[in-house]
Structure 1
Amino acid sequence: MIDQWFKSDLQDIYKQHTIAVFIDESGDAEFLLKIFGAEYTIQQANTELDELHIKYLIEKVQPSNERFLIYTRSKKDALKFIREYCETCGCLEIRYLQNYIKDKVHQILNLNINLPKEELIAAAKVSVGKDRTYWMDLSHKGATEIFDLNKELLPFVHDPDTYSEEKYDAQLRETFYRKVNELLGQDYLSKPAPTLAGEVVKAMLDGLAAGCCNKTLESIYKGWLDSVSYRGSFNGYLGSYKLSSDLDIWNVSIHHPFRQVDERWLAEVGQNISDKTNMSTTLARLRQRNQSRQAQALGICFWRDVIALLEFDPKDIAYLSAFSECVEFYKKHFCKLDTAIRNLYAEFLNKKELLEPFQELYKEHASVFLDKWFRFFRDYQETQTGALQRIIDDAGGLKTAAIVGDGVAYEIAELVAAKVKGSANLRKEAILADIPSETENNMSRIYMANGVTEAVQGNREKYLAAQNPDVSIDFIRLDEVTEEACSGQVLICTYKDIDDMGEKLQQKALKYFPETIDFFAEKISVLLASGYAKVYLITDHGFVLTGLLSEADKISVSPIGDFEKAERYIRTEIKQTDLTPALIEAEKSYKQFSYLYFAKNINPFKTPGLYGFSHGGVSPQELVTPYFCWEQSGASAASLSVSIENKGDLKDVTGELFSIKIQADKGAGDLFSRERKVYLVFFANRAQVNKSDVFTIQRNERITKEYTFDGYSEIEIQLLDAATKQQLDRAVVKQNEDRDLGGLL
């Protein structure tokens, strides 16, 4: 605020003169010259020669509207050549800056400020650009208000040298350093800025480790992790910090940044995982840690998965009395444990001592649930055959897209659904996959309703297209989806990354799953935004993970006769009568084999291949697959109905030009059916070749648009809503090959 006072004093001179002399005997007020920029021509006169030169410059440009400010540290009586300007124009004389400050605060704000000279001058420098509340706080709270350490410390520790040099002059810098030392509770010693910044961060981390961090330092810490600009410097400090060897880990702040403390917590929780008495207290602390924004910012997110395993209560499994109830229980409850253990495998697969107790707990829960699952498994009936045909039949004339994933487990689909953007209504159902749950078999069931197992994807697509000759179907890869909708009424998108990565990389692929989940969610959002009224997510099968696997976990069986053994199923030519352990049997012909056998758990059969990510078995993780449908809300039903009126004429057009007549109905008379913004999209050979501008049609209005064939003999036209991209109508324009020859024949 001192800048405002100083400018006001000078303005009193400049009201009548173009020259002012600023006498600063102590030199403490020189910083005020920086507030003017190019507003005045500033000249410094510290010697007689300077004075003479300034007088020459001023006289040379006179008369002129240019305003001069002459700054000098000489006393008025000692001035020679510019003394006359003091008398004839005006002079602002500040002998002692601290007195000038006190007088102004008292005169203008009616406040008394009692601070030592250095602190008062520092306060004045900091007050530049601030309002009266700054001085009021300073009057009431004292020197601690000179610097707002909550704002100043973070940029200082981020880049100590640059911040100190650019922000403060030497005097202000020393005062700032003194305040920082006061905060740290230590005496002031002159030291390099990086050294002091390191002491600040050490005090911060020491406080977090001890669970008693200074409030200001804790505030800086939280702001640091939230900051986009400063976040990068934190890891460097953290990496060089060493925790005390005798640290009490349960006294550490819940928002601490030390991953090693989290892992020590995890180890103790694992060691005491059976201690139900004390677990409730531990869980309360873990929930706090899981909710910490600082932990999340540092990528420490595994506590939600640990909590899911610890909080799961298996007693409700006892009440399951039918296979359908087991399926619903898996969807609503148990699949969350699959997510949790998958995340923990991704995080700690190379740290056996940390992972093992939680894997054992997961297997205990899984064993209880699978006992019920297989007790009622006789009622299992696959619902996968003809899945895409059902989607096509249910399209009801609306543009519909179906994503056919490979290995998208139900728990993965739940995570995808949570990230899909938009206001579409989501219906979550499940399909029970056919057995064995492997790609060739299950993809055949999805595409083909005739029971044939087809190894070639292109042949599956040809079969589906042949079964629906009156429906235009596009087949593309999911990564080819863009904001522009394809021409067909139905779009089938395939995506195989999960299964491909799992089979090639096994459990090493787990770290890539979050990216895949984001990719699915993004593409579903794009499809909904590009005009598809319904978007489905289905898959061929799920998967199981073996995690930490010992030889004892591998199921060793010796079938008789010709057989083929995979990790999760066995095909045999003849019926097996004496297999140990007891397996699930199913009759199903494939090549020369007639029978299938499956384990009643999630462990793999002993095979020569790799272990980790597998499918083909009959666990709920492999068989319960997503049948999710996002459907645009019915709000558009209240909108004005618009259609292409002359479809019949467009089927036989003579010449190069054709007209499209677009008709709006009478509407309901409400606000939503008064008008509608629409546009046309043109396709030839299933590729977009043109698009009209957006135009508005009023109720009961007809609009005619003219276009040319541009070398295409047949064009499909789609009429779309401009806001939602919903397809309102479509028509095919065909050019009559028998040209109008004007009676020449």
Structure 2
Amino acid sequence: MIDIWFKNDLRDIYEQHTVAVFIDESGDAEFLLKTLGAEYTIQQANSELEELHVKYLVEKAQPSHERFLIYTRSKKDDLKFIREYCETCGCLEIRYLQNYIKDKVHQTLNLNINLPKEELIAAAKVSVGKDRTYWMDLSHKGATEIFDLNKELLPFVHDPESYSKEKYDAQLRETFYRKVNELLGQDYLNKPASTLAGEVVKAMLDGLANGSCDKILESVYKGWLDSVTYRDSFNGYLGSYTLGSDLDIWNVSIHHPFRQVDERWLAEIGKNISDKASLPHTLAKLRQRNQSRQAQALGICFWCDVIALLEFDPKDIAYLSSFSECVEFYKKHFCKLDTAIRNLYAEFLNKKELLEPFQELYKEHVSVFLDKWFKHWSGYKETQTGTLQRIIDDAGGLKTAVIVGDGVAYEIAELVAARVKGTANLKKDSILADIPSETENNMSRIYMANGVTEAVQGNREKYLAAQNPDVSIDFIRLDEVTEDARPGQVLICTYKDIDDMGEKLQQKALKYFPETIDFFAEKITLLLASGYAKVYLITDHGFVLTGLLSDADKISVLPKGDFDKAERYIRTETKQADLTPGLVEAEKSYKQFDYLYFAKNINPFKTPGLYGFSHGGVSPQELVTPYFCWERSGASAASLSVSIENKADLKDVTGELFSIKIQADKGAGDLFSMDRKVYLVFFANKAQVNKSDVFTIQRNERVTKEYTFDGHSELEVHLLDAATKQQLDRAVVKQNKDRDLGGLL
């Protein structure tokens, strides 16, 4: 605020004069010149020669309106050539800056400031750009308010040398350093800025480690992790910090940055995982840690998964009385455990001692649930056959997109749904996959309603298209989806990355799953924004993860006769009476085989292949698959209805030119049906070849647009809403070249 007082004093002079002399005997007030900007022409005059030169410059510029400020450190009585300006124009004399400050504070705010000279001058320098509340706080709280260490420390520790030199002059820098040392409880010593910054961070980290961090330092720490500008420098300090060997890990701040402490917590919890009495206290602490923004900023995000495993209560499983109830329980409750253990595998698969207790807890829960699952196994019936045909039949003329994933487990679909943006209504249902739950079989069931197993994806698509000759279907890969309109009423998008990565990389693929989940969500959001009224997410099968696996965990069986053993199922030519007590049997013909056998747990059969990510079995993780449908809200129903009026004429066009007549109905008379913005998109051979500008059509209005075939003999035209990209109508335009000859042949 001292800059405002200083400028006001100068303006009093310049109201009547163009020259002012600023006398600063101590030199302490020279910093005020920097607050003036380009408002005045500033000249220095600290010797007789400089005075003479300044006088020459001022006189030479007269009688212009240029305003000169002459700065000098000489006493008024010692001035020679510029003394007359003090008498005839005006003079601002600050003999002792501390007195000037005290007087101004008292005059302006009626406050008395009692600080040592150095601190008072430092306070004045810091007050530049601040308002009266700064001095009021300083008056009540003392010198601690000169520097707001909550704000100053973070940029300082981020780049100590640059910040100290650019922010402060030598006097202010020393005062700042003194305040920092006071905060640290140590005497001031002149030391490099980087050394002092290191001491600040060490005190901060020591406090967090001991659970007694100073409030200012803790505030700086939290701001550091939240800052985009300063965040990177924290890791350097943290990497060079060493925790004490006598550290009490349960006394560490809940917001601490030490991953090794989290892992030591995890190890202790794992050792005492069967201690139910201490569980409520443990969960309370873990929930605090899980909610810590600082932990999340540092990528320590696994506590929610640990909590999910620890707080799951298996007693409700005992009340399941049918297979359908088991399916619903899995979807609502148990699949969350699959998410949790998958995340923990991704995080700790290479740290057996940390992971093992939680894997065992998960397998205990799985065992309890699978006992009930297989008790009611007779209620299983696949609902996968003809899935795409049912979706097409239910489309009702609305543009519909279907994402057919490969290996998208139900728990993965739940995570995708949580990331989809927009206001579309989501209906979550499920499909029970056919057995064995492997790609060739299940994809055949999805695409083909005739029960045939088809190994080639292209043949499955041809079958579906042949069954729906009156429905235009586009088949593409999900990564080819863009915001551009496509001609088909139904769009089927395939995506095989989860299954491909799982089978090739096994559990190493787990680190890529979050990216895949985000990818699904982005594409669903894009499809909904690109005019599709419904977007489905379905898949062929789910998967199980074996995690840490010993030879004892592998199921070793030797069927009789000719057989084919996969990791999760066995095909045999003949019935295996010896296997049925421990395995699930199903009669199903495939090639020369007539029987299928499955394990009643999630462990793999002993095979020559890799272990980790697998499917083909009959666990809920493999069979309960998502049938999710996002449907855009029906708000557009209140909009003005618009259609292509001359569809019949467009099927037989003579010549190169053709006209499209767009007709709006009379509307409901409300605000939403007064007009509508629309545009036309043209396709040839399922590729977009043209697009019109957006135009507005009023109710009861007919708009005629003319176009050319531009080398195409047949075009498909879509009328789309400009805001939602909803398809309002479509027409086929055909050129009749025979009639062009005028009957000459």
Q: TM-score, normalised by structure 2?
A: 0.99
Deviates more, 1:458-467 or 1:62-71: 62-71
Mapping 1:129-144, distance limit 5 Å: 129-144=129-144
**1:446 matches 2:464:** no
| Mapped partners of 1:516, 1:248: distance in 2 | 40
In the alignment, is the contact (CA less than 8 A) between 1:23 and 1:74 conserved in 2?
yes
Q: Does 1:485 align with 2:468?
A: no
Secondary structure at the counterpart of residue 196 of structure 2 = helix
Q: Which residue of 1 aligns with 2:245?
A: 245
Instruction: Within 5 Å, give how 1:709-728 maps onto structure 2.
Output: 709-728=709-728
CA distance in 1, matches of 2:741, 2:733: 21
**In structure 2, how many angstroms separate the alpha carbons of the residues matched to 1:657 and 1:93?**
88
Instruction: Specify whether residues 245 and 375 from structure 1 end up closer, same or farther in structure 2 by C-alpha distance, changes over 3 A only.
Output: same
Aligned to 2:575: 575
* Displacement after TM superposition at 1:376 (Å): 1.1
What is aligned with 2:401? Answer: 401
Partner of 1:220: 220
- For residues 31-76 of structure 1, the C-alpha deviation after alignment (integer angstroms, 9 at most, x for no partner) is 0010112211111111211112112222222221111111111111
Counterpart CA distance in 1 for 2:343 and 2:589 is 37
Does structure 1 residue 664 correspond to structure 2 residue 647? no
Residue 433 of structure 2: aligned partner: 433
CA distance in 2, matches of 1:743, 1:505: 68
Tell me how far apart the structure 1 counterparts of residues 638 and 62 of structure 2 sit (CA, whole Å).
77
Is 2:279 aligned against 1:293?
no
Moved more, 625-634 or 707-716: 707-716
CA drift of 1:242 comes to 0.9
User: In the alignment, which residue of structure 2 is the partner of 1:63?
Assistant: 63
CA contact (8 A) 2:46 2:74 kept: yes
The question of whether the paired residues in 2 share the 8 Å contact of 1:557 and 1:580 is answered with no
SS at match of 2:80: coil
Paired amino acid for 1:191: K
1:681: Cα distance to partner? 1.1
CA deviation string 1:559-601 (max 9, x = no partner): 1111111100011111112128621111111111111111000
Deviation at 1:133, TM superposition (A): 1.0
Displacement of 1:15 after TM fit?
1.3
Aligned twin of 2:119? 119
Residue 276 of structure 1 and its aligned partner are, at CA, apart by 0.5
| Per-residue deviation, 1:734 | 0.8
Separation in 1 of the partners of 2:592 and 2:365? 38
Query: Which residue number in structure 2 is paired with residue 83 of structure 1?
Result: 83
Q: Secondary structure at the match of 1:277?
A: coil
Map of 2:316 onto structure 1? 316
Alignment of 1:459-498 (within 5 A): 459-498=459-498
Aligned partner of residue 275 in structure 1, secondary structure: coil
Deviations 1:136-174 (A, max 9, x none): 111111111111111111111111111110000000011
The equivalent residue for 1:512 is: 512
Deviations 1:400-432 (CA, angstroms, capped at 9, x unpaired): 000000000000000000000010000111111
Deviations 1:211-238 (A, max 9, x none): 1111111111111111100111111111
Task: Give the Cα–Cα distance (whole angstroms) in 2 for the partners of residues 616 and 684 of structure 1.
Answer: 42
User: What is the aligned partner in structure 2 of residue 325 from structure 1?
Assistant: 325
Cα distance in structure 2, aligned partners of 1:743 and 1:52: 106
Letter in 2 for 1:164: S
8 Å contact 1:716–1:732 — kept in the other structure?
yes
Q: Percent identity?
A: 90
Corresponding residue SS for 1:276: coil
Per the TM alignment, residue 498 of structure 1 is displaced from its structure 2 partner at its CA by: 0.3
State how far apart, in whole Å, the 2-side matches of 1:632 and 1:108 are. 62
Structure 2 equivalent of residue 108 of structure 1: 108
8 Å Cα contact 1:567/1:614 also seen in 2: yes
**3-state SS of paired residue (2:277):** helix
Which residue of structure 2 aligns with residue 337 of structure 1?
Answer: 337
Partner of 1:527: 527
**Aligned equivalent of 1:96:** 96
Distance 1:56 1:110 in 2: 43
- Are the counterparts in 2 of residues 557 and 581 from structure 1 also a CA contact under 8 Å? no
Aligned mates of 1:334, 1:700 — CA distance in 2: 56
Matches within 5 A, 1:537-686: 537-579=537-579, 582-686=582-686
SS of equivalent to 2:199: helix
Q: Which residue of 1 aligns with 2:10?
A: 10
Partners of 1:375 and 1:534 lie apart in 2 by 37
Aligned to 1:547, the other structure's residue is in SS state coil
Q: Retained in 1: the 8 A contact 2:583–2:600? A: yes
Shift of residue 679 of structure 1?
Answer: 1.2
- What is the match of residue 47 of structure 2? 47
C-alpha separation between the residues in 2 aligned to 1:144 and 1:678? 64
Measured at CA, do residues 78 and 581 of structure 1 come closer, stay the same or move farther in structure 2, by a change above 3 Å? farther
Contact 2:642–2:728 (Cα < 8 Å) also in 1? yes
The letter of the residue matching 2:350 is: N
Q: Say whether residues 1:161 and 2:161 are aligned partners.
A: yes
Q: Is the Cα–Cα contact under 8 Å of residues 524 and 535 in structure 1 kept in the other structure?
A: yes
Measure, in 1, the Cα distance between the counterparts of 2:567 and 2:457. 24
Contact 2:420 2:525 in 1 (8 A): yes
- C-alpha deviations, 1:292-329, integer Å up to 9, x for none? 11111111010000000011110111011111111111
Q: Which residue of 2 aligns with 1:34?
A: 34
1:258 paired residue number:
258
**Equivalent residue, structure 1, for 2:410:** 410
| Distance (Å, rounded) in 1 between the aligned partners of 2:744 and 2:120 | 104
Q: How far apart, CA to CA, are the structure 1 residues paired with 2:338 and 2:744? A: 78
Gaps of 5+ in 2: none
Indicate the SS of the match to 2:606.
Answer: coil
Q: What is the alpha-carbon distance in structure 2 between the residues aligned to residue 699 and residue 315 of structure 1? A: 62
2:594 partner SS: strand
Question: Which amino acid counterpart does residue 576 of structure 1 have in structure 2?
Answer: Q
TM-score for the superposition, normalised by structure 1: 0.99
Q: Counterparts of 2:642 and 2:314 in 1: how far apart (Å)?
A: 55
The answer to whether the Cα contact below 8 Å between 2:210 and 2:253 also exists between their aligned partners in 1 is yes
* CA deviation vs aligned residue, 1:84-119 (integer Å, no higher than 9, x gap): 211221111110000011111111111111111001
Contact 1:21 1:86 in 2 (8 A): yes
Distance 1:580 1:718 in 2: 58
* CA distance in 2: counterparts of 1:49 and 1:683, whole angstroms: 85
Which whole-Å CA distance do the structure 2 matches of 1:630 and 1:535 have between them?
5
CA apart distance, 1:452: 1.1
Q: Which piece of structure 1 moves more, 3-12 or 664-673?
A: 664-673
> Are the aligned partners of 2:485 and 2:681 in contact in 1 as well (CA < 8 Å)?
no
Question: C-alpha distance in 2, partners of 1:660/1:617?
Answer: 56
User: Which residue is 1:704 aligned to?
Assistant: 704
Q: What is the rounded CA distance, in whole Å, between the counterparts of 1:16 and 1:172 in structure 2?
A: 35
Contact persistence 2:555–2:605 (CA under 8 A): yes
Matched, 1:234 2:234: yes
Residue 383 (structure 1) aligns with: 383
- Native 8 Å contact 1:558 1:579 kept in 2: no
Structure 1 stretch displaced more, 515-524 or 482-491: 482-491
1:206 aligns with 2:233: no
Equivalent in the alignment of 1:273: 273
- SS of corresponding position for 2:567: coil
| Shift, 1:485, TM fit | 2.4
Look up the SS of the partner of 1:720 in the other structure. Answer: strand
Distance 1:669 1:211 in 2: 67
Query: Which residue does 2:695 correspond to in 1?
Result: 695
- Stretches of structure 1 lacking an aligned partner (at least 5 in a row): none
- 8 A contact 2:76–2:83 mirrored in 1: yes
Give the Cα separation in 2 of the matches to 1:721 and 1:743: 41
Q: Within 1, Cα distance between the matches of 2:314 and 2:586? A: 29
Change (3 A) 1:495 1:220: same
Separation of aligned partners in 2, 1:318 and 1:86? 98
After superposition, the C-alpha distances for 1:643-666 in whole angstroms (9 at most, x for unaligned) are: 111111111111111111111112
